Amino acid sequence: MADAAVPRMELVEWADRYGVVAGISTRGRGFSLGLWSEENVGQVMTRWRAFRAAVHPAFPGVVLSHQIHGTALQWHRQGQDGWLILDGVDGHATSARGLLLTVSVADCIPIYLIAPEKRVVALLHAGWRGTAAGILERGVELVKRHGFVRAADVVMHCGVGICGSCYEVGSEVLERLTPGRRPRVNPGEAGLGTAGQRPRVSRTEGLPGHVDLRGVLIQQAAELGLSEVSVSPWCSAHDREHFFSHRASGGRDGRMVAYLGLPA
């Protein structure tokens, strides 16, 4: 955990290995950063300013967006001071220093990507729709294109999100997330954590089933050629003392913010 003023968890391993700042805010003292919610905008922006102050001056610029569970990604060519607020974007990528990328989550999976040798980073918001539509593939391609790297050079971390046992879905979701091909990821591979355990998708004919989104994303990463993947062990629904969960709260909870950037 970080300082009490802005409750958050840092991805310490990435800070040590790659020199980036990466993490996620938590729900301590109701610290919701859900800007597009029914909560008073002024109160939410006060928290956003506190969040920005906690990472400033290493990040004079902060990027956020109204997410729509799609696959639209934004490449940011250069850093800037202040706020950049976009609409209809579910992921960001940059090689610019001093620009903090953010996505809001409350069960959906934040995907952190980095090409360490080329200093290109990306942060994606992956719910079931984005996962099924290929947001991970689009994110990896964006990093490859701007970093001039292979997929095997891209490192991925699946952050805090809902686990498979907590994520019951209907048949239409199961169909979208069941590709019908043999998985290429072994559940015992290092770094997979609890999200790496099979089955990724489980169902009984005619009944709702359960989906492990992080497991599906790990499988997709292997198929794309990524060789290094890690996974957070935390479940946003199981661990509501620390995290907000849209599913567990019946849609009434706040939002965390995942963040990633190259310090100035």
pLDDT in tens, 187-240: 323 232 333 334 455 555 555 788 999 999 999 999 999 989 999 999 999 999
Instruction: Identify residue 103 by its one-letter amino acid code.
Output: V
Domain ranges for the chain, please list them.
Answer: 8-261
| Confidence band for 28, pLDDT divided at 50, 70 and 90 | confident
Q: Residue 183: pLDDT above 60?
A: no
As a whole number of angstroms, the distance between CA 145 and CA 142 comes to 5
Going from the C-alpha of 84 to that of each of 38, 54, 70, 153, the distances in angstroms are 22, 18, 19, 29
Report field, pTM of the whole predicted structure over 0.85: yes
pLDDT for residue 201: 59
Which amino acid is present at 80? Answer: Q
Please provide the CATH number assigned to the domain covering 8-261.
3.60.140.10
pLDDT at 3: 52
On the question of pLDDT at 241 being above 60, the answer is yes
Q: How confident is the model at residue 33 (pLDDT cuts 50, 70, 90)?
A: confident
Answer yes or no: are the C-beta atoms of 126 and 135 closer than 8 Å.
yes
Distance CA 151, CA 169 (A): 31
Helix %, strand %, coil % of the chain (to 5): 30, 30, 45
